[in-house]
Amino acid sequence: MRIALVTDAWVPQVNGVVRTLTATVGELTRRGHTVAVIAPDQFRTVPCPTYPEIRLAIAGAREVGLRLQRFAPDAVHIATEGPLGRAARRSCLDAGRPFTTAFHTQFPDYIARRSGLPAGLFWPYFRRFHAHSSGVMVATQSVREQLREQGIGNLRPWTRGVDLATFHPEIAPPGRFFGLPRPIQVYVGRIAPEKNIAAFLASKHPGSKVVVGDGPALERLRDAWPEVHFLGRKSGADLAACYAGADVFVFPSRTDTFGLVMIEALACGTPVAAYPVCGPRDVLDARSGAMAERLEDAIAGALALDRSDCLARARGFTWQASTDQFLAALEPLPADPAGDTAPSCGESLPRAA
Q: Kindly list the distances between the CA atom of residue 51 and the CA atoms of 13, 110, 214, 264, in Å, as whole numbers in the listed order.
A: 12, 12, 12, 25
- Which of left, alpha, beta for 119 (phi over 0: left; psi -120 to 50: alpha)? alpha
Type of residue at 312: A
89 shares its domain with 152: yes
124 shares its domain with 221: no
352 belongs to a structural domain: no
342 belongs to a structural domain: no
353 belongs to a structural domain: no
**Using CA of residue 165, residue 170, residue 171, residue 173, what is the dihedral sign?**
positive
CA-based angle 77:326:251, to the nearest 5? 100
Tell me how far apart the alpha carbons of residues 78 and 102 are, in angstroms, rounded to a whole number. 7
pLDDT for the residue numbered 111: 79
Give every CB contact of residue 111 below 8 A, 6+ residues apart in sequence: 117, 119, 122
Q: How many helices and strands in the chain, by DSSP H and E?
A: 14, 14
201 shares its domain with 269: yes
pLDDT for the residue numbered 341: 40
184 shares its domain with 295: yes
Identify which of 46, 19, 37 has the alpha carbon closest to the alpha carbon of residue 233. Answer: 19
Query: Tens place of pLDDT for every residue, the chain, 353 residues?
Result: 999 999 999 999 989 999 999 999 999 999 999 999 999 999 999 998 777 778 999 999 999 999 999 999 999 999 999 999 999 999 999 999 999 999 998 888 877 777 788 888 999 999 999 999 999 999 999 999 999 999 999 999 999 999 999 999 999 999 999 999 999 999 999 999 889 999 999 999 999 999 999 999 999 999 999 999 999 999 999 999 999 999 999 999 998 999 999 999 999 999 999 999 999 999 999 999 999 999 999 999 999 999 999 999 999 999 999 999 999 999 887 765 444 443 333 333 443 43
- Which of left, alpha, beta for 276 (phi over 0: left; psi -120 to 50: alpha)? beta
pLDDT for the residue numbered 352: 40
181 shares its domain with 298: yes
129 shares its domain with 270: no
77 belongs to a structural domain: yes
335 belongs to a structural domain: no
pLDDT for the residue numbered 342: 39
Type of residue at 71: F
CB 267 within 8 A of CB 168: yes
Identify which of 317, 253, 316, 299 has the alpha carbon closest to the alpha carbon of residue 110. Answer: 253
User: In a 10 Å sphere around its CB, with 0-12 CB exposed, 13-18 middle and 19+ buried, how is residue 301 labelled?
Assistant: middle
36 shares its domain with 50: yes
Q: Kindly list the distances between the CA atom of residue 216 and the CA atoms of 50, 213, 221, 266, in Å, as whole numbers in the listed order.
A: 8, 11, 10, 27
CATH code at 157?
A: 3.40.50.2000
71 shares its domain with 86: yes
pLDDT for the residue numbered 51: 74
**How many folded domains does the chain comprise?**
2
167 belongs to a structural domain: no
Range of the domain at 144: 2-161+318-329
340 belongs to a structural domain: no
203 belongs to a structural domain: yes
Tell me how far apart the alpha carbons of residues 175 and 159 are, in angstroms, rounded to a whole number. 34
149 shares its domain with 216: no
135 shares its domain with 83: yes
115 shares its domain with 23: yes
185 shares its domain with 73: no
Distance of CA 54 to the CA centre of its chain: 15
pLDDT for the residue numbered 347: 35
